[in-house]
């Protein structure tokens, strides 16, 4: 029996369940009827409830967050593809198709041969029909012809190892935390959408989207900032989506309150307390330096306050006097 070469795996991928990519990458997919039978038995096992790869390390373990609602799911509980990462409590709603088929219906041209990933953060809201397109769906713009000759290597006598030359690699697609993606929006390959951004319905996102902004249109363009600079900076520092559920429940009234001044006051206080705790116990850096020859020591160790190191050493223009550190000489 012989392992299928990468180009054969690439041709087979569209006709197999999407989550079989992990087995293709790990070379479990081999030629020969006996082994293929075992392979598809493994795939059937993977389809059983509770076998999704994301359910083992998530805070939300149930698929449907609302009783008697089968159109909204916690997305990470149905993802099996190792090239797709979804954070806790991110939801997907689909009233046209089964939302559990997100990998098949919404993640397109995502073949293992390219190795690019889809990374979605926590607490995102993805509306019905939103699509994520990947590099393998593109055609190369670097050559004279945009026809995908390298894909049809056997037809044109080309080297199968160069199959990736058929497209321009755009890299991973990354969606931040607390991002809302509107209905039937299309996210193009390699796009980065930062925390708190909103994508209007039916948009085509072709470039990166900054945090806490609203983008929309085809191609998607900047519409407005959601918050002023100070509040946006406080939110990005606080990162409420990384709180433990118990702590998150305590501040939910603030997160859902339209009075942003209350939220601003709370975040300012949290930032002030964080700075105070850090100042009370500043991080230290131990500099291990060669000892001068006239001292009978192997080395000297200099404990340095990290904040002082930054203020004094990295910004010497502001310093008007020589910098002196106490040296703890150790034999």
CA 140 to chain centroid, in Å, comes to 25
3-state secondary structure of 282: coil
* Rounded Cα distance, 105 and 97, in Å: 8
Strand order in the sheet with 204-205: 107-108, 131-133, 186-187, 204-205
Catalytic residue check, 139: yes
Give how far Cα 154 sits from Cα of 13, 180, 292, Å: 17, 43, 69
Cβ distance 138 to 170 under 8 Å? yes
* Rounded Cα distance, 69 and 184, in Å: 21
Cβ distance 122 to 87 under 8 Å? yes
- Cβ of 26: how many Cβ atoms within 10 Å? 9
H or E element: which one contains 306? helix 306-308
- Cβ of 118: how many Cβ atoms within 10 Å? 22
3-state secondary structure of 173: strand
Residue with tokens 């041969």: 113
Which of 97, 139, 265, 294 is catalytic? The answer is 139
Q: Looking at the annotation, which residues are catalytic? A: 139
């Amino acid at each position: 029996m012989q392992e299928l070469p990468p180009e054969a795996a690439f041709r087979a991928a569209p006709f197999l369940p999407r989550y079989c990519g992990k087995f293709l990458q790990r070379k479990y997919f081999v030629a020969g009827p006996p082994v293929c039978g075992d392979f598809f038995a493994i795939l059937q096992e993977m389809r059983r409830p509770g076998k999704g790869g994301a359910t083992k390390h998530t805070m939300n373990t149930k698929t449907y967050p609302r009783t008697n609602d089968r159109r909204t799911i916690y997305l990470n509980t149905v993802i099996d593809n190792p090239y797709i990462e979804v954070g806790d409590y991110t939801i997907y709603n689909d009233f046209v198709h089964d939302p559990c088929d997100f990998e098949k219906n919404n993640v397109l041209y995502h073949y293992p041969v390219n190795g690019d990933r889809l990374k979605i953060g926590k607490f995102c809201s993805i509306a019905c029909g939103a699509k994520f397109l990947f590099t393998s769906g593109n055609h190369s713009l670097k050559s004279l012809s945009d026809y995908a000759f390298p894909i049809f290597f056997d037809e044109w006598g080309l080297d199968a190892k160069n199959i990736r030359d058929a497209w321009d690699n755009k890299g991973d697609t990354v969606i931040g935390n607390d991002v809302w993606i509107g209905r039937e929006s299309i996210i193009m390959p390699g796009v980065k959408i930062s925390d708190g951004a909103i994508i209007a319905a039916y948009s085509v996102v072709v470039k990166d989207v900054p945090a806490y902004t609203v983008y929309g249109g085809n191609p998607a363009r900047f519409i407005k900032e959601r918050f002023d600079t100070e509040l946006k900076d406080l939110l990005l520092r606080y990162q409420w989506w990384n709180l433990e559920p118990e702590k998150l429940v305590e501040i939910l009234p603030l997160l859902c309150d339209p009075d942003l001044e209350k939220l601003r006051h709370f975040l300012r206080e949290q930032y002030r307390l964080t700075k105070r705790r850090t100042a009370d116990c500043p991080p230290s850096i131990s500099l291990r330096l060669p000892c001068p020859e006239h001292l009978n020591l192997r080395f000297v160790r200099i404990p340095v306050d990290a904040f002082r190191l930054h203020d004094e050493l990295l910004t010497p223009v502001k310093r008007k006097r020589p910098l002196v550190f106490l040296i703890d000489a150790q034999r």
